[in-house]
A and B are shown apart, each in its own frame.
Chain A
Amino acid sequence: QVTLKESGPVLVKPTETLTLTCTVSGFSLSNARMGVSWIRQPPGKALEWLAHIFSNDEKSYSTSLKSRLTISKDTSKSQVVLTMTNMDPVDTATYYCARIHRVDTFGGVIDYFDYWGQGTLVTVSS
């Protein structure tokens, strides 16, 4: 049974650094066909992709937030960590982690998010 669970502070102050942890079970972060992504959703708004990481340490970041984000993983702990610096009230959102499933198709390799965590609401306020 695949599960992902986000953990971290519910409240951060402006200018602080946010650190979120995604703890996974039911699959290994060393699996070459799996990755983990972070996505956020401000209240009442759309989903926004933040970053992802794969077993070979392949990483990718949202262009607009790249300078503020760092993603890493601890395979032995089955955890993926996202840090976001210089938090602002506009960063108030529910933050999700999701498993990326990588598969081979006729057209080549495709990735999609097949399991999601429940999400954690982070509020940025002084």
Chain B
Amino acid sequence: EPEVTQTPSHQVTQMGQEVILRCVPISNHLYFYWYRQILGQKVEFLVSFYNNEISEKSEIFDDQFSVERPDGSNFTLKIRSTKLEDSAMYFCASSEGTSGANVLTFGAGSRLTVL
């Protein structure tokens, strides 16, 4: 069964460092997403991406965050200067975008720990 893969599974970084989280969405999906989940809390929408541009972003997705689809398969989330409060699980998801139902397939997540 097709799956969304994310790397790394866990990254530890120092405050102020740049972090890039990588995702390979399902190949025939058109919409890509990043969500985050702080430990024990709700799933929070960060950004959606379609047709090589951001289609929607939340208030969390400030200038410290950026997304990119550098080639035909990868979808990356960059945090330029990490803060302690960026520590969370970051989930990539993708959806077909053709059925209108918008069922998301999630990756297993990347745990980011900022020290």
Report if A and B associate in a common complex.
no
Binding site for B on A (CB under 8 A): none
Binding site for A on B (CB under 8 A): none
